[in-house]
């Protein structure tokens, strides 16, 4: 069977197979000068499916081990910050554990990084590396967290909540905990927000195919610079500048140096870990709350928006559209929340205005800070917050949820479907959003992610119901974990059964990488099959 290779696809046995980024099959057929007849369509589609399988390759262990070794160096460097702080605070037990972690990671990195491997990575190899890191890092960091008096399960829960920027905690009180513990939680949220993969791209890898492939994660979708490594460095620089600005603003608001650092790290990463028992309420008055909320909103906006502000010629349409959508949705949630709080609980408008906006934008940005306990809210208010938490922030931001842009894509598709029912049969109506035509791939991906999020929430919710927990509170907790938000009605606690803690940990991990990465990791064809 003959084979002819073209710049936009592969011609196999008389049918075209489009490579990633090569356009659609019809384009390749047109370039070849051939078109499948109607009677040949199904047969040739089946042939293409079989031939696509021939171009499918399982992961190679050598590249995975090599780049995992490089990632160990990054994780060791990140662990150096709490290690240094524990030395400064004289917290010897924590210092010893962090030192063990750092030296172990350096040793593993030194061995694995010497593995001889091809310089490029396949897409599935890059995906599973990202997934493995979001499991490996919490496992490693749970060891020093245990030095603060937590058992393994609670320490792992805390570490996963930090790395995934969720903010749920099994601790009812944190103000008595060591300062290093409080800083380390927020620090994990900070580097988890930008992504360990992005930090690795910026600091370790040489420019090339490996870096470009790993930059295929959500936060790297808009490659404005052309070189993935250069883009990652710019993203890291923007992230650091936003964090520094947040610290300065909180210092001006007289929050104190330690509070300014911890709250800024947790806010810009939309994490939500606070060094006070009552979250944001323990920080001070409403002006300080406003500053923290603004920092949360900054993190919920795509990082490409800030790059485009200072570089002429950058296309800001998509990022600006997402910013407007977040503000509108946040305002709508705040209004509904305020009305329900006023009607159901009979609260004064002054009290409502003092808390509803902060809680609404905290849920919409998936930051998870709160000025009042969500458990005290009425059922309607909780349901509104659940919708906001699941919807989430902007694509390409540090926020969680299935992302507000995908919801808007689904709504636009529904509008087009309804409009087509009124049109003549020969009329053509293409869905457009923010002035851009939506491609079939974008629509399919958006609907798939929404469906997967809903499925994960429902299955996890059933686990809580089976254990006898109240339905609405259970749904709230599961939605908060899957959306990586951190708002809690009190179910996340030390007495929670271990099985349900594991369920919430799985939800946080699934939500952080938007589920598909884990399906790739668990697919047997990822590991078994032909290799390049």
**Mind listing the pLDDT tens digit for each residue in 461-509?**
999 999 999 999 999 999 999 999 999 999 999 999 999 999 999 999 9
**Mind listing the pLDDT tens digit for each residue in 160-179?**
999 999 999 999 899 999 99
Output the pLDDT for position 317.
75
Residue 100 near residue 64, CB atoms below 8 Å: no
Output the pLDDT for position 51.
53
Which residues are within 8 A (CB) of 38 and not within 5 positions of it... i.e. 6 or more apart?
Answer: none
Output the pLDDT for position 69.
94
Output the pLDDT for position 162.
96
Output the pLDDT for position 315.
64
Q: CA 343, CA 348: separation in Å to the nearest integer?
A: 10
Q: CA 442, CA 410: separation in Å to the nearest integer?
A: 10
Q: CA 107, CA 84: separation in Å to the nearest integer?
A: 20
State yes or no: pLDDT of 396 exceeds 90.
Answer: no
Mean pLDDT, residues 369-378: 93
State yes or no: pLDDT of 214 exceeds 70.
Answer: no
State yes or no: pLDDT of 425 exceeds 50.
Answer: yes
Three-class HEC string of 299-316 = HHCCHHHHHHHCCCCCCC
**Mind listing the pLDDT tens digit for each residue in 18-58?**
333 334 433 333 344 444 444 454 555 555 545 555 678 89
Output the pLDDT for position 432.
87
Residue 508 lies in a domain: no
Residue 281 near residue 371, CB atoms below 8 Å: yes
State yes or no: pLDDT of 334 exceeds 90.
Answer: yes
Residue 352 lies in a domain: no
Output the pLDDT for position 252.
94
Residue 34 lies in a domain: yes
Output the pLDDT for position 532.
78
Structural domain that includes position 44: 3-54
Q: Please tell me the least confidently modeled range out of 140-149, 208-217, 496-505.
A: 208-217
Output the pLDDT for position 23.
40
- Greater confidence, 437 or 332? 332
Residue 450 lies in a domain: no
Q: What are phi and psi of 15, to 5 degrees?
A: -130, 155
Give Cα separations from 419 to 416, 431, 436, 444 (angstroms). Answer: 5, 10, 18, 19
> Could you tell me the pLDDT band of residue 452, with boundaries at 50, 70 and 90?
very high
Q: CA 399, CA 393: separation in Å to the nearest integer?
A: 5
Taking all residues of the chain, what is their mean pLDDT, rounded to a whole number? 84
Task: Tell me the two tokens of residue 406.
Answer: 């995908």
Output the pLDDT for position 196.
58
Site of tokens 């349900």: 500
Output the pLDDT for position 335.
95
- Greater confidence, 404 or 436? 404
Output the pLDDT for position 411.
94
State yes or no: pLDDT of 219 exceeds 80.
Answer: no
Which residues are within 8 A (CB) of 490 and not within 5 positions of it... i.e. 6 or more apart?
Answer: 373, 375, 473
Q: CA 194, CA 200: separation in Å to the nearest integer?
A: 11
Long-range contacts at 89-98 (CB < 8 A, ≥ 24 apart)? 89/178, 89/179, 89/180, 91/147, 91/178, 91/179, 91/180, 93/147, 94/144, 94/147, 94/148, 94/178, 94/180, 94/181, 96/147, 97/143, 97/144, 97/146, 97/147, 98/144
> Could you tell me the pLDDT band of residue 314, with boundaries at 50, 70 and 90?
low
State yes or no: pLDDT of 205 exceeds 60.
Answer: no
Q: CA 318, CA 42: separation in Å to the nearest integer?
A: 37
Output the pLDDT for position 201.
52
Q: Cα angle at 405 between 399 and 411, to 5 degrees?
A: 140
**Mind listing the pLDDT tens digit for each residue in 267-302?**
999 999 999 999 998 887 888 999 999 999 999 998
- The fraction of the chain above a pLDDT of 70, given in percent, is 82
Residue 17 lies in a domain: yes
State yes or no: pLDDT of 210 exceeds 60.
Answer: no
Note the pTM of the prediction, 2 decimals: 0.86
Site of tokens 């909103």: 297
> Could you tell me the pLDDT band of residue 530, with boundaries at 50, 70 and 90?
confident
Residue 30 lies in a domain: yes
> Could you tell me the pLDDT band of residue 316, with boundaries at 50, 70 and 90?
confident
Residue 48 lies in a domain: yes
> Could you tell me the pLDDT band of residue 433, with boundaries at 50, 70 and 90?
confident
Q: Please tell me the least confidently modeled range out of 58-62, 384-388, 502-506.
A: 58-62
Q: At what angle do helices 61-89 and 92-112 cross, to 10 degrees?
A: 160
State yes or no: pLDDT of 14 exceeds 60.
Answer: no
- The fraction of the chain above a pLDDT of 90, given in percent, is 60
**Mind listing the pLDDT tens digit for each residue in 240-250?**
999 999 999 99
> Number of folded domains in the chain?
1
Mean pLDDT, residues 73-86: 96
Output the pLDDT for position 200.
52
């Amino acid at each position: 069977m003959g084979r002819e290779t073209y710049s936009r696809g592969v011609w196999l046995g008389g049918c075209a197979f489009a490579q990633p980024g090569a356009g659609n099959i019809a384009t390749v057929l047109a370039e070849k000068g051939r078109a499948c007849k109607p009677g040949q369509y199904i047969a040739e589609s089946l042939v293409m499916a079989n031939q696509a399988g021939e171009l499918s390759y399982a992961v190679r262990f050598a590249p995975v081990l090599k780049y995992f070794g490089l990632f160990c160096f990054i994780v060791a460097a990140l662990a150096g910050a709490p290690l240094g702080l524990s030395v400064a605070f004289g917290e010897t037990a924590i210092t010893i554990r962090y030192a063990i972690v750092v030296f172990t990671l350096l040793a593993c990195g030194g061995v694995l990084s010497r593995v001889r491997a091809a310089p490029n990575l396949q897409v599935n190899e890059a995906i599973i590396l990202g997934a493995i890191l979001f499991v490996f890092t919490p496992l490693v960091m749970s060891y020093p967290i245990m030095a603060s008096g937590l058992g393994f399960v609670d320490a792992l829960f805390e570490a996963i909540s930090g790395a995934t920027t969720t903010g749920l905690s099994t601790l009812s009180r944190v103000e008595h905990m060591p300062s290093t513990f409080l800083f380390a939680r927020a620090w994990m949220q900070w580097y988890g927000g930008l992504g360990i993969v992005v930090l690795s791209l910026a600091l370790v890898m040489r420019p090339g195919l490996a870096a470009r492939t790993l930059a295929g994660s959500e936060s790297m979708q808009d490659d404005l610079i052309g070189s993935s490594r250069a883009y990652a460095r710019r993203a890291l620089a923007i992230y650091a500048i936003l964090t520094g600005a947040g610290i300065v603003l909180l210092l001006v608001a007289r929050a104190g140096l330690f509070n300014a650092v911890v709250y800024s790290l947790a806010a810009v990463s939309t994490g939500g870990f606070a060094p006070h028992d009552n979250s944001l309420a323990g920080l001070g008055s409403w002006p300080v709350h406003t500053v923290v909320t603004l920092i949360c909103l900054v993190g919920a906006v795509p990082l490409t928006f800030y790059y485009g502000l200072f570089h002429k010629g950058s296309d800001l349409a998509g990022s600006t559209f997402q910013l407007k959508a977040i503000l509108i949705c946040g305002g709508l949630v705040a209004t509904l929340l305020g009305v329900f709080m006023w009607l159901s609980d009979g609260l004064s408008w002054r009290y409502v205005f003092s808390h509803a906006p902060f809680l609404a934008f905290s849920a919409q940005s998936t930051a998870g800070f709160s000025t009042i306990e969500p458990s005290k809210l009425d059922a309607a208010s909780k349901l509104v917050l659940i919708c906001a938490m699941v919807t989430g922030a902007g694509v390409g931001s540090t926020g969680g949820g299935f992302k507000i842009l995908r919801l808007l894509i689904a709504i636009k598709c529904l509008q087009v479907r309804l409009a087509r029912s009124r049109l003549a049969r020969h009329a053509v109506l293409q869905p457009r959003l923010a002035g851009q035509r939506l491609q079939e791939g974008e629509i399919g991906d958006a609907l798939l992610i929404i469906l997967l999020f809903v499925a994960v929430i429902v299955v996890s919710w059933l686990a809580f119901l089976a254990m006898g927990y109240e339905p609405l509170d259970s749904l709230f907790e599961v939605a908060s974990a899957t959306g990586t938000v951190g708002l809690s009605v009190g179910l996340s606690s030390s007495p929670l059964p271990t099985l349900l803690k594991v369920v919430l940990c799985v939800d946080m991990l699934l939500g952080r990488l938007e589920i598909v990465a884990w399906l790739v990791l668990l697919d047997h064809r990822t590991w078994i099959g032909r290799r390049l």
